[in-house]
Structure 1
Amino acid sequence: MKKKLLAVILLFFACTTLFSQVVINELDCDTPGIDDQEFIELKSDTPNFSLDGYVLVFFNGSSSGGDSSYMTIDLDGAVTDVNGLLLIGSSTVTPFPQFLISPNVIQNGADAVAIYLGDDTDFPEGTLATQTNLIDALAYDTNDSDDTNLMALLGLTEQISEGASNNTNSIQRNDDGSYTATTPTPRALNEGGGVVFNAISISTALTQYGEGDTFDITFTAQENVTADFQFDFTLNNGTFDTSDFTGTTTVTIPNGQNAVTTSITIIDDAIDEGDEELLIRFLGLEPPYIPFNNFIKIRVIDNDFTVAPFGTPINPSYGVVESTQPSGYYNSLDELSDTALRQALQDIIAEEGVVRAQTYTDVIDILKEADQNPENSNQVWLVYLEQGRAKLDFQTTSNNVGTWNREHTFPRSRGGFDSIEEDEVGDGIDIFWNTTADSLRHGNSDAHALRAVDGPENSSRGNQFYGEYNGPSGTLGGFKGDVARSVFYMAVRYNGLEIVNGFPEGLTGQFGDLATLLDWHRNDPPDDFEMNRNNVVYQWQFNRNPFIDQPDLVEYIWGNMVGQVWNQELGIDDVDVAQIKVYPNPTSRGVHISGINNPASVGVFAVDGRKVYTENISGGNSYLNINVSPGMYLLSIVSGERTIVKKIIVE
């Protein structure tokens, strides 16, 4: 019995010794600029130590964080280097980390980071800090007050300050277990010694090249090599592979020198692959050589982009893109008015079991298609700024200059909907949530009300009401009708949202200004760009924005036709609509009408129902000289017992 007890005790001490070999050696939680140089470094007592069975957990010490976990890093598969170090950081950190995380994800404090025995699944987001299975912990800040509760939960008696905000320090562990805030030493022992690495950097003259271009890549070591040093690198990244370039990917730095240059030629093919990013990446560098930088992205501009057969919102076309709505999609609206009409419309666009909700991350892919620039398939069209931007320039850090993001036309803070953790997953078109009219949270990722937007302009708009916000000065306002119809859609799609007159500050769920939105809708009618995005979003969500398909519905719910009975505009008996043409459309004055063989009466109606012009035509190819103010009108053509209505735009 005593032998068994002794064996258990020896096993316990052996395990304790094994799992006490790792400490938090250095932490840089705050760096100047956009805070993308932050890192954490672990140190093992022995070199080349496997970190299988360890997990790194970050705790939020703010009042909202509640001293609970906000991020975990499972260390299975990670191994420390010959100095016993493991550098964890983003691809912008130098020397290049052995373990990559996203930039700007480590909070500044008062917070804490800890190493545990366990797995990341042991610490779901919001797990209270604990000493159970704790190996090492560090409480830190940037000149913040001590979080004594967090320290107590982790068994700590000291909280270390890195320095004031935007400092150039890191917190470093001394050999005696104390800490010092001083100049960062990533991938080097804090107090010197150990193997000194020779870091190799990658450089190119430009960060962007076109198909057919040749460019040089230079590799430079910090110190001259003492023997010929040969190494490999790769350019492969996603769809960019060895079929897209020529040139060698094995190079040698000659003995006594510190640099080598090689040339790469990008193949000019005839394939529309879209803009791509090649990734210059070392393959298998061994100490004492390490990457100084790595994963260098180079933009490759595809000259085979396509141009759509329809125009942009500032150079619109009409009638080119057909609605993909199913036959009879809006039939249930006929003969209804007022609240009954609105309810029937909601029943269509929020139908449970049919309509789908995607994640907020999925919206990025939706917008790349729905908001594709008609003039260049490699770009998205930016609402408000009214220009194209490369699809690859989606904002991924706190720096939004030159990037695009997702704009909520009905702001989240006004609507009372926001992201959840599952929204951070892009799981594709075939994975979705069931949704209803009461599923207000899904308004966060409803692509009918999300648009590609310039990063800084997204910040400038904020959560202003339309009418308060009217777009950047000098733009043409081709976005105005589009955003109005997306806001109208939201108000019908989700219970709890409403469009009102004025600017209702402090009233969640209400949005204004109704008069402005009606004016924008009337003066900027749906065009082909908007119809195309309606069709794209329908493929994902299985619902449509009815105010694009049937723009007159706006008048029956908010405008000049409230209370009147709705009937779809094309209520025609046995008429071949396709053979009847009205052109040009838009027009500055008159229109031709073809495809009618018999005499007909033509009436021109304003959107409020007023008849502003009438004329009888004899059939054949007739011309109407319409002298009316600019705007959208309905052209009613009556021949015998048959009627057809066409929309026309007068410029």
Structure 2
Amino acid sequence: MKHLLKISCLLFICFGYSQTVVINELDCDTPGIDYQEFIELKSETPNFPLDGYVLVFFNGSTSGGDSSYYALDLDGAVTDVNGLLLIGSDTVNPYPQVFIGENLIQNGADAIAIYLGNDYDFPIGTLATQTNLVDALVYDTSDADDTGLMALLGVTEQINEGPGNNTNSIQRNNDGSYTSTTPTPRQLNDGSGIVLNALEISTNQIMIDEGLSFDITFTAQQNVDSDYSFSFTLNNQSFDTFDFTGNTSLTILSGQNQVTTTITLVDDALDEGDEEPLIRFDNLPTPLIPYNNNIKLRVVDNDFTVAPFGSPVNPTYGLVSSTQPAGYYDSIDGLSGAALEQALQDIVADPNVVRAQTYADIIDILQEADQNPENSNQVWLVYTEQGRAKLDFQNNASNVAKWNREHTFPRSLAGYNSIEADDTRDGKDIFWATKADSLRHGNSDAHALRAADGPENSLRGNQHYGQYNGPSGTLGSFKGDVARSVLFLQIRYNGLSVVNGYPSVSGQMGDLATLLDWHRNDPPDDFEMNRNNVVYEWQFNRNPFIDQPDLVEYIWGTNVGDTWNQNLNTDTFETSSIKLFPNPITDKLYVSGKEQNYNISVFSSEGRLVLKQQVANNNYIDLKVASGLYLVKIETENNKSLIRKIIKK
């Protein structure tokens, strides 16, 4: 019985592999950014499973060496009623049956080939071969023949699609020759077979508030000759059928080519965050095929939460307490100079305690640490001072209207890069051991990374601060934050330093004088303290210049060489005990603290002194100035001082 089973299996395999599969059409170069390029395969019989086949891409350039640069395993793929299988990105129309990335196919002189085998049989750099070869096409876009690649694949002709940015595709004729002409994806090249009718999805909105309605219209390229019923879904991750009402089973009536349905979003009381339903065909009867598919919408959740503290442009102070463990900074008391720096490094780079996460984990960390206090569904963008949906993280080449990860100490200046497993989001509990010499971990140190607008991040590039001062018209609410971020890195990692000027030496960053000024004029607020607390939950270290901002003066500023004593520093003038309120204000600014009197100096955002007077504790000053951002310097009679930001309405 076992022998009969083996014979049956062998007969099935032989019968399956005897079916001819060829490269029917190739579009390797399209005008613009090449997102419409595709490959089409053809089987001898329709609805043919391609299990056991692999499509391999070969690079014919000098650097490519006629070797593979990509292999696509075809297990699970099945050709259609005409024996065709369309392979392309999800931007190709009609919608492909199998997907590859945009702009993956090289322009030539290169080759694609079908083999019996698997993708792991062709690791990157595998020399082209005729072993187990089923079909091959060597092609170009007006390039010289690659005779070496042709010989390796046993091909006698290299086919030219046309010059660069052409509108042609290479199509196989019934006699095995090729023609370069107008593309015909999902259609037999000679015009025979069943003519398929592509159905396009369109909507009157792509961003819809919870509780509102929107229309989805389905339009066929030709009128149908009988009634055709189909269905679609909107489900994607947490978005499901409980989140909307409306008909998802539709019929295009005979003689027509269009049908529309209205979807109403359920306005629940759940804070689910913004969601992205996908309009996806559930089934389509022949001859209907998808023209497009998986159309992403955005449902804006109106149940977001607002933090009890302010955003960087509407800052609050003293509402968020540091979560540092008791005695966290005790070891630095009584120290100065290099000994003080070393003691700080021993805390924030302790290899027995501190954890390093992956660069991919930073996405999750920033979504929490940089959450917009005014809308929990958004992150706060560091330079442009605005919220952006957490869902709008940049995950492809386009950064327009997206946010991404900004290194405050640029990678090119610091000398750290992505490392092993950096693309894996593996969560808090999986981490690397790290120490002061682990400079590579600076690439994914959340204390030094911020959520930033994609184009603005590109505009900053690798400029030093002082060269880069942020977008014009913004309030500069980020300046103290990034200063403390960069200063932290000098303490955390051996090999990094902050210096005056704009150095070109690896590991150095400037401008120190600018960063000290930013630190002094933009002290830590509740947003930054909350951020410090969140990062601590992941990395088990804190930025001491947020918890103890006066430390900056003892390492780089006016108190260099002086002995640091945490108790004396905080007992005489506890910054958390000074409250200015309300903020924003209309006219009266109240001062509350532990001292009997305070000397108050108010400066405009440009640094101009607009008011100076003494005020008794729990009293107020009249601030009759124009609306905007102001800096308030609070001094005691024993010459202790701090600076707070306020907004005048």
Q: What is the TM-score with the length of structure 2 in the denominator?
A: 0.84
| Residue in 2 that maps onto 1:386 | 385
| Residue in 2 that maps onto 1:479 | 478
| Residue in 2 that maps onto 1:524 | 522
Moved more, 530-539 or 106-115: 106-115
- Which amino acid letter does the alignment assign opposite residue 47 of structure 1? P
- Which amino acid letter does the alignment assign opposite residue 516 of structure 2? L
* CA apart distance, 1:354: 2.7
| Residue in 2 that maps onto 1:4 | none
- Which amino acid letter does the alignment assign opposite residue 286 of structure 2? P
| Residue in 2 that maps onto 1:649 | 644
Structure 1 residues 273-327: Cα deviation after superposition (integer angstroms, max 9, x where no partner): 1111111111122432211111111211111122222222122111112222222
Instruction: Note if contact 1:87-1:98 (Cα within 8 Å) is conserved in structure 2.
Output: yes
* CA apart distance, 1:145: 6.3
Q: 2: distance between equivalents of 1:325 and 1:141?
A: 62
| 1:44-83 pair list within 5 angstroms | 44-59=43-58, 69-83=68-82
Instruction: Note if contact 1:604-1:636 (Cα within 8 Å) is conserved in structure 2.
Output: no
Structure 1 residues 502-523: Cα deviation after superposition (integer angstroms, max 9, x where no partner): 1223x22222222222221221
- CA shift in 2, pair 1:372/1:166, >3 Å: farther
- CA shift in 2, pair 1:594/1:521, >3 Å: closer
Q: 1: distance between equivalents of 2:643 and 2:316?
A: 12
* CA apart distance, 1:330: 1.9
Q: State the secondary structure of the residue aligned to 1:429.
A: coil
Q: 1: distance between equivalents of 2:447 and 2:576?
A: 32
Q: 2: distance between equivalents of 1:145 and 1:502?
A: 51
Q: 2: distance between equivalents of 1:465 and 1:631?
A: 25
Could you say what the CA RMSD is over the residues aligned between the two structures, in angstroms? 3.9
Matched, 1:514 2:515: no
- Which amino acid letter does the alignment assign opposite residue 451 of structure 2? A
Instruction: Note if contact 2:26-2:170 (Cα within 8 Å) is conserved in structure 1.
Output: yes
| Residue in 2 that maps onto 1:375 | 374
Instruction: Note if contact 1:34-1:399 (Cα within 8 Å) is conserved in structure 2.
Output: no
| Residue in 2 that maps onto 1:25 | 24
* CA apart distance, 1:233: 0.8
Instruction: Note if contact 1:570-1:645 (Cα within 8 Å) is conserved in structure 2.
Output: no
Structure 1 residues 513-544: Cα deviation after superposition (integer angstroms, max 9, x where no partner): 22222221221111111112222222222222
| 1:595-634 pair list within 5 angstroms | none
Structure 1 residues 388-407: Cα deviation after superposition (integer angstroms, max 9, x where no partner): 12222222332222222221
* CA apart distance, 1:87: 1.6
- CA shift in 2, pair 1:594/1:434, >3 Å: closer
Matched, 1:453 2:448: no
* CA apart distance, 1:246: 0.8
- CA shift in 2, pair 1:174/1:558, >3 Å: farther
* CA apart distance, 1:616: 13
* CA apart distance, 1:452: 1.6
Moved more, 14-23 or 315-324: 14-23
Structure 1 residues 403-436: Cα deviation after superposition (integer angstroms, max 9, x where no partner): 2222121112222222246323323333323322
- CA shift in 2, pair 1:269/1:55, >3 Å: same
| 1:236-247 pair list within 5 angstroms | 236-247=235-246
Q: What is the TM-score with the length of structure 1 in the denominator?
A: 0.84
| Residue in 2 that maps onto 1:5 | none
Q: State the secondary structure of the residue aligned to 1:414.
A: helix
Matched, 1:356 2:373: no
Q: 2: distance between equivalents of 1:484 and 1:576?
A: 23
Q: State the secondary structure of the residue aligned to 1:372.
A: coil
- Which amino acid letter does the alignment assign opposite residue 254 of structure 2? N
* CA apart distance, 1:62: 6.1
Instruction: Note if contact 2:409-2:448 (Cα within 8 Å) is conserved in structure 1.
Output: yes
1:561 to 559, 562, 580: 559
Aligned residues: 622
- Which amino acid letter does the alignment assign opposite residue 644 of structure 2? I
Q: 1: distance between equivalents of 2:578 and 2:69?
A: 61
Structure 1 residues 151-196: Cα deviation after superposition (integer angstroms, max 9, x where no partner): 6665666665544554433343444545444332222233432222
Moved more, 156-165 or 42-51: 156-165
- CA shift in 2, pair 1:583/1:207, >3 Å: closer
Q: State the secondary structure of the residue aligned to 2:495.
A: coil
| Residue in 2 that maps onto 1:37 | 36
Q: 2: distance between equivalents of 1:626 and 1:570?
A: 33
Structure 1 residues 560-604: Cα deviation after superposition (integer angstroms, max 9, x where no partner): 22222222256678x9989956444889998644568xxx89899
| 1:290-369 pair list within 5 angstroms | 290-369=289-368
- Which amino acid letter does the alignment assign opposite residue 245 of structure 1? F
Instruction: Note if contact 2:413-2:507 (Cα within 8 Å) is conserved in structure 1.
Output: yes
- CA shift in 2, pair 1:645/1:200, >3 Å: same
Q: State the secondary structure of the residue aligned to 2:376.
A: strand
Q: 2: distance between equivalents of 1:444 and 1:161?
A: 44
Q: 2: distance between equivalents of 1:20 and 1:440?
A: 56
Q: 1: distance between equivalents of 2:632 and 2:44?
A: 76
1:548 to 524, 527, 546: 546
Instruction: Note if contact 1:19-1:117 (Cα within 8 Å) is conserved in structure 2.
Output: no
* CA apart distance, 1:73: 2.9
Q: 1: distance between equivalents of 2:120 and 2:466?
A: 48
Q: 1: distance between equivalents of 2:291 and 2:270?
A: 35
* CA apart distance, 1:96: 0.8
Q: 2: distance between equivalents of 1:20 and 1:343?
A: 72
- Which amino acid letter does the alignment assign opposite residue 321 of structure 1? V
| Residue in 2 that maps onto 1:93 | 92
* CA apart distance, 1:224: 2.1
Q: 2: distance between equivalents of 1:566 and 1:524?
A: 22
Moved more, 458-467 or 42-51: 42-51
* CA apart distance, 1:479: 1.2
Instruction: Note if contact 2:317-2:579 (Cα within 8 Å) is conserved in structure 1.
Output: no
* CA apart distance, 1:245: 0.6
Q: 2: distance between equivalents of 1:158 and 1:437?
A: 59
Q: State the secondary structure of the residue aligned to 2:229.
A: strand
Moved more, 333-342 or 88-97: 333-342
| 1:172-187 pair list within 5 angstroms | 172-187=171-186
Instruction: Note if contact 1:366-1:447 (Cα within 8 Å) is conserved in structure 2.
Output: yes
* CA apart distance, 1:242: 0.6
* CA apart distance, 1:84: 2.3
Matched, 1:419 2:436: no
| Residue in 1 that maps onto 2:205 | 206
Instruction: Note if contact 1:522-1:631 (Cα within 8 Å) is conserved in structure 2.
Output: no
| Residue in 2 that maps onto 1:230 | 229
- CA shift in 2, pair 1:576/1:508, >3 Å: closer
Instruction: Note if contact 1:359-1:423 (Cα within 8 Å) is conserved in structure 2.
Output: yes
| Residue in 2 that maps onto 1:3 | none
Matched, 1:439 2:438: yes
| Residue in 2 that maps onto 1:189 | 188
- CA shift in 2, pair 1:366/1:214, >3 Å: same
Q: 2: distance between equivalents of 1:292 and 1:267?
A: 29
- Which amino acid letter does the alignment assign opposite residue 198 of structure 2? A
Q: 1: distance between equivalents of 2:615 and 2:475?
A: 37
| Residue in 1 that maps onto 2:4 | none
Instruction: Note if contact 1:55-1:117 (Cα within 8 Å) is conserved in structure 2.
Output: yes
- CA shift in 2, pair 1:399/1:571, >3 Å: closer
Instruction: Note if contact 2:349-2:435 (Cα within 8 Å) is conserved in structure 1.
Output: yes
Q: Percent identity?
A: 68
- CA shift in 2, pair 1:582/1:226, >3 Å: closer
Q: 1: distance between equivalents of 2:145 and 2:345?
A: 52
- CA shift in 2, pair 1:283/1:576, >3 Å: same
Instruction: Note if contact 1:380-1:389 (Cα within 8 Å) is conserved in structure 2.
Output: yes
Instruction: Note if contact 2:21-2:134 (Cα within 8 Å) is conserved in structure 1.
Output: yes
- CA shift in 2, pair 1:294/1:593, >3 Å: closer
Structure 1 residues 200-246: Cα deviation after superposition (integer angstroms, max 9, x where no partner): 11111121211221222111222222222111111111111111111
Q: 1: distance between equivalents of 2:575 and 2:631?
A: 24
